[in-house]
Amino acid sequence: MTRVSSIAAVLGVALCASPALAQGPPPLQPVTMKQLKPDVWAGIGGSGGNSTIAIGKTGVIVVDAKQTEAGAKDLLAEIAKITPKPVTTVFLTHSDGDHVNGLVAYPANVKVIAHMNNKKEQEAAIAAGGRGAPPPDRLPSQVVMKNKETMTIDGVKLELYHWAPAHTSGDLIVYLPAQKVAATGDIIVTNRADDNPNLHIDKNGSAEGWITNVKGIVGLNADVYVPGHGDLQMKADIQRRLTAVTARRAKIATMVKAGKSLEEIKAALPDAPAPGARAAAPPAGAAPGGRGPAPGFVDVAYAELTRKS
Ligand SMILES: [Zn+2]
């Protein structure tokens, strides 16, 4: 046995042993709290996506709930160190479990506000059941139906935007105009090896819609952005990403016009895998058990471009 293969054998044993360990809850990654403004914080990382926290006159508004009960409790404990005020309202930027499922740890009477398509996606996930389905007793109690809604909650001014489907069909950007802070959800993530956005084709995510939304996000008068995953972003970071993705989509469009196949385009413009990406559910009509890699940016852009031509 070569040295490499013996290492592989050892690793193989370790990998085989891990499912037994995986039965228990995963080890909790603690959230990192960052103060953005006197009354606004970001809860970076921990369990699931980033959270944004705004302290109102009598209560607390949280954007994105974390993934697990333990992770949400960790965030709530950190908020309790900042203020004794209770969490009264949770906004959800989209329907993915790593932003929603921690709701189980919040007070039963918490108000949950999300885009109407987010609620539809959660209802579909609950109906489908299985691991990762959202908590059925914490569905959004208020839905956003317009491209822009403004509201004041507990003295906190909020602007909510949904210009088009992007990461999912129910994305919601939560902007605090007085504090100049915007929570983008997973429309912006920085934990990939490339600039491509993560687009959920199974939730009607859209490459074209992503560009529309990010133009809107850049247009906000924000001086700091809380992305869905990864580090805080400045406007210049978002603009650079928008420019890169717009150029990439234009390249794909040119290749589609030139009659290139999806495989040829993917070979010319490879996507980095989404972080922690599991194989996506097979598309409807696919052979049973056929779980391919999760569709990447090229897949989504190609599908849109060829549908239109
Ligand atoms: Zn996420």
**pLDDT tens-digit readout, 73-117:** 999 999 999 999 999 999 999 999 999 999 999 999 999 999 999
CA of 256 to the centre of ligand 1 (A): 30
Q: Which of 13-22, 61-70, 155-164, 224-233 has the lowest mean pLDDT?
A: 13-22
Q: How far is the CA of 60 from the centre of ligand 1 (A)?
A: 22
The per-residue pLDDT for range 31-75, each reduced to its tens digit, is: 999 999 999 999 999 999 999 999 999 999 999 999 999 999 999
Residue 179 structure tokens: 């504090």
CA of 94 to the centre of ligand 1 (A): 8
Cα 193–chain centre separation: 16
Which pLDDT does position 15 carry in this prediction? 39
CATH number of 32-235: 3.60.15.10
For residue 182, report the distance from its CA to the centre of ligand 1, in Å.
Answer: 16
Q: How far is the CA of 49 from the centre of ligand 1 (A)?
A: 5
Query: 42 CA distance to ligand 1 centroid (A)?
Result: 15
| Burial class for 68, CB neighbours closer than 10 Å (0-12, 13-18, 19+) | buried
Q: Which residue, among 306, 299, 219, has the nearest Cα to 256 in the 3D structure?
A: 306
95 CA distance to ligand 1 centroid (A)?
Answer: 9
- What does 88-113 look like in DSSP terms, one character per residue? EEEE-SS--HHHHGGGGGS-TT-EEE
pLDDT tier, 283 (very low <50, low <70, confident <90, very high otherwise): very low
Using left for φ > 0, alpha for ψ between -120 and 50, and beta otherwise, residue 157 falls in: beta
- pTM attached to this predicted model: 0.86
Query: How far away, in angstroms, is 80 Cα from ligand 1 center?
Result: 24
Please tell me the distance between residue 67's alpha carbon and the centre of ligand 1 in angstroms.
9
